[in-house]
Chain A
Amino acid sequence: MDMILSSLPSLASGAWLTVQLVALSLALGLLLSVGVALARLSGSVLLRAPAVAFIFLFRSTPLLVQIFLIFYGAGQFAAVRDSFLWPVLREPYWCAIIALTLNNAAYTGEILRGGIQSVPFGQIEAARALGMHRLLLFRRIVLPQAFRQILPAYGNEMIQMVQATSLASTITLMELTGAARAIASRSFQPVEMFVIAGLFYLAMNFAIAQAVRWGEKRLAHAG
Chain B
Amino acid sequence: MLDLLSYGATGWGDELLQGAGMTLLVAVLAYLIGLGAGCLTAAAKLSGPLPLRWLAATYTTVVRGVPALLVIWLLFYGGSGLVGWMAGLFGYGGRVELSAFAVGVASVGLVSGAYAAEVIRGAVQAVPKGQLEAARALGMHRLLILRRILAPQALRYALPGLGNVWQMTLKDTTLVSVVSLAELMRQAYVASGSTRQPFLFYLVAALVYLVITTLSETGFRALSRRADRGVRRATA
* A residues at B contact (CB < 8 Å): 57, 60-66, 68-69, 72-77, 159, 162-167, 169-170, 177, 180-181, 184-185, 190-191, 194-195, 197-198, 201-202, 205
Complex-state Cα separation, A102 to B200, whole angstroms: 20
List residues of B (52-75) whose CB comes within 8 Å of A's CBs. 61-62, 65-70, 73-74
Least CB distance, A77 to chain B, in whole angstroms: 7
B209 in the interface, Cβ–Cβ < 8 Å?
Answer: yes
Contact partner of A69 (CB less than 8 A), chosen from B77, B174, B196, B199, is B199
B199 & A77 in contact (Cβ 8 Å cutoff): yes
Please determine whether A76 and B209 come into contact, CB atoms closer than 8 angstroms.
no
Interface residues of B in 34-92 (CB under 8 A from A): 61-62, 65-70, 73-74, 77-78, 81
Task: Return the chain B residue nearest A69 by Cβ.
Answer: B202
Of all chain B residues, the one with the shortest Cβ separation from A185 is B77
Q: Is the CB of B78 within 8 A of A60?
A: no
- A194, B209: Cβ atoms closer than 8 Å: no
Q: Check if A167 sits within 8 Å of B175, measured CB to CB.
A: yes
A198 touches B70 (CB 8 A): yes
The answer, among A68, A164, A197, for a CB contact under 8 Å with B70, is A197
Residues of B within 8 A of A162 (CB): 67
Q: Contact: A198 with B198, CB < 8 Å?
A: no
Pick the 3 closest A-B CB pairs, nearest first. Answer: A190-B77, A166-B67, A73-B199
> Is B119 on the interface with A (CB-CB < 8 A)?
no
Q: Which chain B residues border A198 with CB–CB below 8 Å? A: 62, 65-66, 70, 74
Interface of B is mostly: helix
* Tally of contact residues, B, Cβ under 8 A: 36
Q: With a CB–CB cut-off of 8 A, which chain A residues contact B70?
A: 166, 177, 180, 194, 197-198, 201
B197 touches A202 (CB 8 A): no
Assembled-state Cα–Cα distance A66/B185 (Å): 11
Shortest distance between the CB of A36 and any CB in chain B (Å): 19
Residues of A near B185 (CB, < 8 A) are: 62, 64-65, 68
A65–B185 CA distance with the chains assembled, in angstroms: 8
- Asked whether B222 is an interface residue with its Cβ less than 8 Å from the other chain, the reply is no
> Judging by beta carbons under 8 Å apart, are A191 and B78 in contact?
yes
Q: List 29 A-B contacts (CB under 8 A).
A: A60-B210, A60-B214, A61-B171, A61-B206, A65-B205, A65-B206, A65-B209, A68-B189, A69-B198, A72-B192, A72-B198, A72-B199, A74-B199, A76-B198, A163-B67, A163-B68, A165-B67, A166-B67, A166-B68, A166-B70, A177-B70, A190-B73, A191-B77, A197-B66, A197-B70, A201-B67, A201-B70, A202-B62, A202-B65
Complex-state Cα separation, A127 to B209, whole angstroms: 45
* Contact across chains for B198 and A167 when beta carbons are under 8 A apart: no
CB distance from A194 to the nearest CB of B (A): 4
Q: Is the CB of A202 within 8 A of B77?
A: no
Task: Let me know if A194 and B73 touch, CB within 8 A.
Answer: yes
Interface string of B146-174 (1 = CB under 8 A from A): 00000000000000000000000011001
Taking each of A63, A163, A165, which has the highest tally of chain B beta carbons within 10 Å of its own beta carbon?
Answer: A163
Q: Does B178 contact A (CB under 8 A)?
A: yes
